[in-house]
Amino acid sequence: MFETSIAGSLPKPGWLAETGKLWPRWGAEGDALARAKADATLVWLKLQEDAGLDVIGDGEQSRQHFVHGFLEAVEGIDFENKVKMGIRNNRYDAMVPQVVGPLKLRGRVHEAEAKLLRAHTTRRIKFTLPGPMTIVDTIADRHYGDRVRMAMAFADLLNQEARALEADGVDIIQFDEPAFNVYMDEVCDWGIEALHRAIEGLRCTTAVHICYGYGIQANIDWKRSLGGEWRQYEVVFPALARSRIHQVSLECIASQVPIELLRLLEGKDVLLGVIDVATDAVETPAQVADTIARALAHVPPNRLFACTNCGMAPMSREVALAKLEALVAGARLARERHV
Ligand code: ZN
């Protein structure tokens, strides 16, 4: 019950990249950068194990950003000439690369990190990939001229990499779809279909992460505009409940998501966000256990997992580590209370 894992990213050490940034500049290049990425991955593997997490991730130490890390391995994208684009329905501007030709993987994307994790931990490992809808919302299109067609092309590439990750020994593959909370109608029209294409033929556990974004100012401002009840999940969850995805990772603590919406995920594993990534205040184990208890009124205990609300990339390492420890201590407390 209440197994623990993180949504995805963790802060990068100062010797790997700029700290406290969502799109940090790398601190090295070539072989030295590859070595630094691997070392940072191992550091976080060890820290996650020592904190007591049940499922281990790579903390996305090898990607500059959760979307662009994947895109860098794709042919048909011009990274030299980035353009400014409003993303997540113009919530904020980002400098994004452009699709300029047919998309194709140049080779493996995350082989090194997956094999490194598999070689150095006996715990289950989870790997995150950006979801097709979130990708097309984070790149400019100069070739396809159609969002859905481009999303399906990306889904095929994601599937290619996901199958290879499974062969590397990855236990859980998660697709990050913050865009699902923005384009709710499109989720039902084609978002789920694109996800199905991305998981086609996989035998490992599959997950989707849908959140209200990193704890950056643009997201904090957006959340303030959403009112006292956030009901985006109400549209998306029934569609996910009917899907072939096994697990749904979602935002809960410190959010205005009505807790009873979790009922709409009947039949799915729920990775409940019990750690807020928008504040440096570290949760107490009791707060974490209380959040789990609220969800237990709507989700059976064997379906409930404890997780972070979102990635922790822009946070300080000390805070992130303290939050991992709170996550594990809180899940333990919830287990004790539940017996
Ligand atoms: Zn997230």
Q: pLDDT tens digits for 216-270? A: 888 888 888 888 899 889 999 999 999 999 999 999 999 999 999 999 999 999 9
pLDDT in tens, 257-301: 999 999 999 999 999 999 999 999 999 999 999 999 999 999 999
- pTM, entire model: 0.96
Q: Tell me whether residue 224 is exposed, middle or buried, using C-beta atoms within 10 angstroms of its C-beta: 0 to 12, 13 to 18, 19 or more.
A: exposed
Separation of alpha carbons 255 and 257, rounded Å: 5
> How far away, in angstroms, is 249 Cα from ligand 1 center?
9
> How far away, in angstroms, is 339 Cα from ligand 1 center?
31
Separation of alpha carbons 328 and 51, rounded Å: 7
> How far away, in angstroms, is 209 Cα from ligand 1 center?
6
**Cβ 177 vs Cβ 133: under 8 Å:** yes
203 falls within a domain: yes
Separation of alpha carbons 199 and 193, rounded Å: 10
Separation of alpha carbons 304 and 288, rounded Å: 13
> How far away, in angstroms, is 273 Cα from ligand 1 center?
10
Q: Which of 240, 143, 148, 253 minimizes the C-alpha distance to 196?
A: 240
Separation of alpha carbons 185 and 190, rounded Å: 9
89 falls within a domain: no
Rounded to an integer, what is the distance from CA 309 to the centroid of its chain? 9
12 falls within a domain: no
CATH of the domain at 58: 3.20.20.210
> How far away, in angstroms, is 9 Cα from ligand 1 center?
9
38 falls within a domain: yes
Domain span at residue 150 reads 30-63+114-134+145-338
171 falls within a domain: yes
Q: Which of 160, 176, 187 minimizes the C-alpha distance to 214?
A: 176
> How far away, in angstroms, is 101 Cα from ligand 1 center?
29
> How far away, in angstroms, is 128 Cα from ligand 1 center?
11
74 falls within a domain: no
**Cβ 26 vs Cβ 16: under 8 Å:** yes
17 falls within a domain: no
The residue to which tokens 């303030």 are assigned: 224
Q: Tell me whether residue 74 is exposed, middle or buried, using C-beta atoms within 10 angstroms of its C-beta: 0 to 12, 13 to 18, 19 or more.
A: buried
Number of domains composing the chain: 1
Separation of alpha carbons 158 and 199, rounded Å: 8
> How far away, in angstroms, is 195 Cα from ligand 1 center?
17
**Cβ 314 vs Cβ 272: under 8 Å:** no
23 falls within a domain: no
> How far away, in angstroms, is 64 Cα from ligand 1 center?
15
> How far away, in angstroms, is 211 Cα from ligand 1 center?
5
Contacts (Cβ under 8 Å, ≥6 apart) of 40? 12, 13, 16, 59, 61
**Cβ 270 vs Cβ 299: under 8 Å:** yes
pLDDT in tens, the chain (339 residues): 999 999 999 999 999 999 988 889 999 999 999 999 999 999 999 999 999 999 999 999 999 988 988 999 999 999 999 999 998 888 888 899 999 999 999 999 999 999 999 999 999 999 999 999 999 999 999 999 999 999 999 999 999 999 999 999 999 999 999 999 999 999 999 999 999 999 999 999 999 999 988 878 888 888 888 888 998 899 999 999 999 999 999 999 999 999 999 999 999 999 999 999 999 999 999 999 999 999 999 999 999 999 999 999 999 999 999 999 999 999 999 999 987
Contacts (Cβ under 8 Å, ≥6 apart) of 5? 53, 54, 55, 56, 57, 126, 271, 305, 306, 307
> How far away, in angstroms, is 76 Cα from ligand 1 center?
27
Q: Which of 274, 249, 12, 287 minimizes the C-alpha distance to 131?
A: 249
Q: What tokens does 124 get?
A: 């289950």
> How far away, in angstroms, is 240 Cα from ligand 1 center?
17
